[in-house]
Structure 1
Amino acid sequence: MELAETFTGQLLRHVRDRPQHPAVVFTEDPRSPDAESRLSYGQLHAAATRLAARLRAEYQPGSRMLLLYPSGLEFVVAFVACQYAGLVAVPAPEPDRHPYRRQRLLGIMRNSTSAAVLTTDSRASEVHGWMEAVGARLPVVTTDAETEDREPTGRDLADPSPDEPRAEALSFLQYTSGSTAAPRGTMVSQRNLAEHSRMFLAMLGITGPVSIGGWLPMFHDMGLVGHVVTPLFSGGTSVLMSPTSFLRRPGAWLTLIDRYRLYMSAAPNFGYDMCVARVSDEEIRQLDLSRWTVAINGSEPVQAHTVEQFTRRFAAAGLRPETVCPGYGLAEATLAVSLEWHRNRPTVIPVEAEPLTRHVLRPLVDARPDAGGYLPRLVGSGQAAGPEVRIVDPQTREVLPERTVGEIWVRGPSVAEGYWAAPEATAETFAAVTADGESGFLRTGDLGVLHGDELYVTGRIKEVLVVFGRNLYPQDIEAEARAYHESLVGLVGAAFTIPVPHEEVVLLHEYRPGKVDGDRADEAPRRLADALQLHLSRAFGAAVSVVLVPPRTIPRTTSGKVQRHRARQLFLDGAVRPVAANLTTLARRCEVGTRYPAEPVAAAPAGGAVG
């Protein structure tokens, strides 16, 4: 299959060669043919061309367009129209009622200096309401008309196709890192997108048009790059459903895979767990998953028990063990770095617990838990088929040998251009140099180890908290807690996640008694912990356990920087003495005095604390 140098160029070839072939399908309910809408390559091209003409008349090339869409055809048309018009797409989550997410969206809008918002008629009032609430002003462009008028006219077909953009031109900004106040947009160029598509198709064993899709949102890197860009680059079909449909009925995702014969579909680890827990035996009897070739598990830490339970549960529906495919990637590398897919079962290895805390991988021949009942098991993420991968000591920058844990560094043409409007962060993250002088590496902030040429991801240096596929930021949670009550002002906190078995958020925060406000003094901390737990869980849309501790409990560096990884380890080791706590049911397993297994790597890499 001859491939173009850019995503847009490749798409235009398919428009020319296969205009009647379905490009995008969206369904509200995979069980019902009446719930489906679709666009052929010719229809997608016509709709995107019309919208691109509107946008080109109003906005200069390179302007950023904030895309606020539900999952569906309209998003894909808007994204392609931006490529045709030479504009930079900025996919982002729609505004909702959560204050944290509303403020983060405002941060994305401001950081990207977006020129306009693109959305649908049905969402326009919500967008206007959000902008009014946060004091923002941007033109709002609704794009339904272009999508609803699906048939290409003679004029559409006669109009010259847009020029293929320069390979170095930006395609979109992917906002997955940074805090609410200072979000970071990863700059993905046309070249990055094309190079990644070539590499990803090769990783997946794809040599021609295939159907790929799923339920991940379009502002998610796997949702956009994995489920939309990749099938369109191959000349195949992108098949989509909404995240809401999946959350309401996880079996709908598997029905989608069955009905549309998807070659690849991906989800975070929690998505597979939801299927195991909530898909009934009757639903399984109605499924045929034998044609599902690649089931990528990524976007959050892959759990060995999830891989095993999902494979076992859906074997009755024809799922083959080799279909399950753990992977590692990040938006800064466009998407994928490595995949465990060699038409074999995923690799799961038990390792000795104590050496792993010292960043040494020692596989167990006779797998038995340690004295505390803990048996670490690592899931392989495969070989890096495209990018070069090094495991590096993050302090000394020395390249480490096999079986030694360090920071994962990546180099290759699919690595993004950097962070938008953040030259210092770009230089620090995207232009790393090893101690022996190898340059041009991306510092991922993740910890991993190579064993038998396979990558095993063991933890995170970056302090972003990944909870059910969502990114939360510890400094935001800590600041919100201090703003909530005077007894926390001037003190420090540490927010982190614990695996129980999904990652849940815990906030350890120092507490100094203030006004009792009519309560007995010994009841005030407990009441505060209860109220703060409710407030933070509502504010961030995720369960947050709260543990109040005496002043000077949270570990800090000599310069006063909070050491969140050390605080987390103290909590897991039962070494904190809480003044009061409000823990979720699962987090209670980690209560003081209870032995609970830490993640395989909880301490900082050799050479000192990280972060």
Structure 2
Amino acid sequence: MPGILGHRASLPRQLAFRFLPDGTDDAAVEWTYHDLAEHAAAVATGLLRRELTGHRVVLALDPGLHYIAALFGIFQAGATAVPSFPPTGKRALARFLSIVEDCAPDVIIADTRLADRVAQFEAELPASAARPHWMFVDDDWFRRAAGARRPDGDTRATVRTDGPALLQYTSGSTGDPKGIVLTHDNLVSNCRALEANMGYEPDRVGCTWLPPYHDMGLMGTIMLAVHGGWPLVLMPPAYFVQRPYRWLKAVTDHKVTISVGPNFAFDICTSSITDEELATLDLSSLRQVFCGSEPVSRATLDAFRDRFGPRGYDETSLIPCYGLAEATLYVSGKRTGSAVKTVWLDKAALENGRVRHLTAEDAEDAEAADAGRAARIVSCGEVAEGHEVIVVDPGERRQAEPGRVGEIWVRGPNVATGYLGKPELTAATFTARLADPGDELTYLRTGDLGFLHEGELCVTGRLKDLVVIAGRNLYPQDIEHSVRSAHEKLRGAAVFSVPGESGEELVVVTEFRGTARQLAEEIDAVRDAVTAAVTAGHGVAPADVHFAPVGAISMTTSGKVRRDATRKAYVQGTLKKLTPAADALPLSVR
């Protein structure tokens, strides 16, 4: 990757990034590739002076241009970048500390505003953990560093393409961090695989609000743009979350042709953008909109198309895709310009691990007659060029028979080398072999479930998240969609099972948009609506409906529900609950 930036900077000046610090054009900052190379060289010089080639450097800056400069500076110094949350909140601090303890970095690069909190951070680390050097950067630091380059002007170390470039931590539990070791070859391979899907377009312009410490935000936008040489409009994630309109307004203002977002981003745009805001949008420039990171919902896509189609949005630009950090990012995606393919399945068969296709007519009749007897699975497209996907019975470790759901296994140049310091887990995950005698090929076990249909990958859920009740495999994301749709005041949802007197029982956790007193006034109606929706759509009644305040359900950096963490908090009794005062409750539930 550092060689690619050097090549870009050697060409005539070209816009690389347009950063919108507040999510609008009011304070926009533009960098060319020359600007990026100069700022990266300043960071590389600081690291080379400390002889950190081959060492790990935690990158804990806020999303923005300094973050990108520090990333490429780490690459140029021959060090390994470790992206992290900035430690500026309770949850972010816990994750940051777990990463630092696990990877034992020599340097942490952070914003100067955190300089007076080092002692506080280090006090939170175990006594046995190493105390890294801190490098604090801001605009003034970069200006000073520009005049203090190495005398020979050399700001690059020799970098092996098969050596570690980046340590990408998974977005699961902070108590058991797993750092995925990605090489420069992995990073370049991922870019090439995506570009094979996208094709070449001379006028390409990108836009992203995704966190740069998440694989989709980092490998799927920033590195892809530098590799391809096209300008990228960036805004901090917080400004998208505060007002999703800013994403689509940036697409409109900058005539963006390519963007990306997880499923939830399309949901909140549909529900939160007002009619007045909608009238200002023009999405006709979009030719590729990647949607991944979590199961892609057909209902979400339909609602987004209906809302924004009149403003120039063409659904053929949407690219449902599948990937994971252990494969750098990209595994499969819909071919650019083709129609989104939806596979209609018999839901009862799917719950028993079978793939039984329905015609569109049968599916519509089933939905109308039985409130959801049909399951709609959005295809995640063709497998990336140069890669292979097989579907495996995870217990038998043999390829699943046609018409059966199984675990998705992947092999190809995007697959990472393993987890840092976890040889047994690395062997089990990255070097899985089929049980067939003589088959020596190794695969990445993804832990995701799905099937292949007409050469395309269809993802049905996550192996460890399956809710198994009375022998039926229930997919939590489907039930969660039913919960969120059951009542207008419900926002997030997490579904899991717990042991009961007669077997596993279903628990629904949902966030209520309102106060405890407002919940008290509607609790019977809301609980009945949730129970009815889940029972009708999935054939099982919740044993408990836990109402939580907004923000109580644990989420990953990309907006995926952390069901295991939510379940643990529920079982331990630490999950926040929106509890109306007893005298505010209806008599029926006092």
TMscore range, shorter length: 0.7 to 0.9
Q: 1:149 aligns with which of 143, 146, 152?
A: 143
> Match of 1:86, as an amino acid?
G
User: Using a 3 Å threshold, how does the CA distance of structure 1 residues 183 and 553 change in structure 2: closer, same or farther?
Assistant: farther
Residue 480 (structure 2) pairs with residue 500 (structure 1) = yes
Deviation readout 1:455-502 (Å, 9 max, x if unpaired): 11001014599xxxxxxxxxxxxxxxxxxxxxxxxxxxxx97774328
Residue 21 (structure 2) pairs with residue 28 (structure 1) = yes
CA distance in 1, matches of 2:239, 2:525: 27
CA distance in 2, matches of 1:584, 1:337: 45
RMSD of Structure 2 on Structure 1 (CA): 3.4
Map of 1:288-303 to 2, 5 A cutoff? 288-303=282-297
Deviation at 1:402, TM superposition (A): 3.9
Query: How many residues are matched?
Result: 505
Deviation readout 1:238-268 (Å, 9 max, x if unpaired): 3210111101110100111222222221111
Q: Secondary structure at the match of 1:274?
A: helix
User: Using a 3 Å threshold, how does the CA distance of structure 1 residues 50 and 31 change in structure 2: closer, same or farther?
Assistant: closer
Q: Secondary structure at the match of 2:340?
A: coil
Deviation readout 1:207-239 (Å, 9 max, x if unpaired): 657332311111111110111000000112232
CA distance in 2, matches of 1:266, 1:313: 18
Residue 45 (structure 2) pairs with residue 53 (structure 1) = yes
Q: Secondary structure at the match of 1:382?
A: strand
Q: Secondary structure at the match of 2:216?
A: helix
Give the aligned partner of residue 254 of structure 1.
Answer: 248
Deviation at 1:440, TM superposition (A): 1.9
Deviation at 1:350, TM superposition (A): 2.0
Residue 43 (structure 2) pairs with residue 62 (structure 1) = no
Residue 257 (structure 2) pairs with residue 267 (structure 1) = no
> Match of 1:597, as an amino acid?
G
Q: Is the 8 A contact 1:405 1:448 kept in 2?
A: yes
Return the TM-score normalized by structure 1: 0.75
Give the aligned partner of residue 423 of structure 2.
Answer: 423
> Match of 1:373, as an amino acid?
A
Q: Secondary structure at the match of 1:391?
A: strand
Q: Is the 8 A contact 1:270 1:502 kept in 2?
A: no
Q: 2:317 aligns with which of 317, 323, 346?
A: 323
Return the TM-score normalized by structure 2: 0.78
Unpaired segments ≥5 residues, structure 2: 468-474, 485-490, 510-519, 541-590
Q: Is the 8 A contact 2:270 2:307 kept in 1?
A: yes
Deviation readout 1:330-366 (Å, 9 max, x if unpaired): 0001011111234122111221111111222122112
Deviation readout 1:76-104 (Å, 9 max, x if unpaired): 01100000001111111122433x54333
Quote the sequence identity (%): 32
Deviation readout 1:137-191 (Å, 9 max, x if unpaired): 4322112247753997897998346256211111111111553222101111000
> Match of 1:376, as an amino acid?
A
Deviation readout 1:411-457 (Å, 9 max, x if unpaired): 00011111111111110000011233152210000001111111110
CA distance in 2, matches of 1:464, 1:446: 10
CA distance in 2, matches of 1:167, 1:546: 42
Give the aligned partner of residue 276 of structure 2.
Answer: 282
Q: Secondary structure at the match of 2:100?
A: helix
CA distance in 1, matches of 2:477, 2:285: 36
Give the aligned partner of residue 380 of structure 2.
Answer: 381
Q: 2:104 aligns with which of 104, 107, 113?
A: 113
User: Using a 3 Å threshold, how does the CA distance of structure 1 residues 60 and 163 change in structure 2: closer, same or farther?
Assistant: closer
CA distance in 2, matches of 1:239, 1:131: 36
CA distance in 2, matches of 1:260, 1:459: 36
Q: Secondary structure at the match of 2:68?
A: helix
CA distance in 2, matches of 1:132, 1:180: 18
> Match of 1:394, as an amino acid?
P
> Match of 2:379, as an amino acid?
G
Q: 1:597 aligns with which of 537, 540, 547?
A: 537
> Match of 2:209, as an amino acid?
W
Give the aligned partner of residue 334 of structure 2.
Answer: 340
Q: Is the 8 A contact 1:393 1:407 kept in 2?
A: yes
CA distance in 2, matches of 1:327, 1:448: 13
Deviation at 1:70, TM superposition (A): 1.3
Give the aligned partner of residue 81 of structure 1.
Answer: 73
CA distance in 2, matches of 1:350, 1:157: 65
Deviation at 1:10, TM superposition (A): 1.8
Give the aligned partner of residue 213 of structure 1.
Answer: 207
Deviation at 1:11, TM superposition (A): 1.9
User: Using a 3 Å threshold, how does the CA distance of structure 1 residues 584 and 543 change in structure 2: closer, same or farther?
Assistant: farther
User: Using a 3 Å threshold, how does the CA distance of structure 1 residues 442 and 594 change in structure 2: closer, same or farther?
Assistant: closer
CA distance in 1, matches of 2:166, 2:271: 36
Deviation readout 1:18-67 (Å, 9 max, x if unpaired): 4x2122221024543x3111221111111111211111111432211111
Give the aligned partner of residue 31 of structure 2.
Answer: 39
Unpaired segments ≥5 residues, structure 1: 1-6, 466-494, 505-540, 556-565, 573-581, 601-611
Q: Is the 8 A contact 1:459 1:599 kept in 2?
A: no
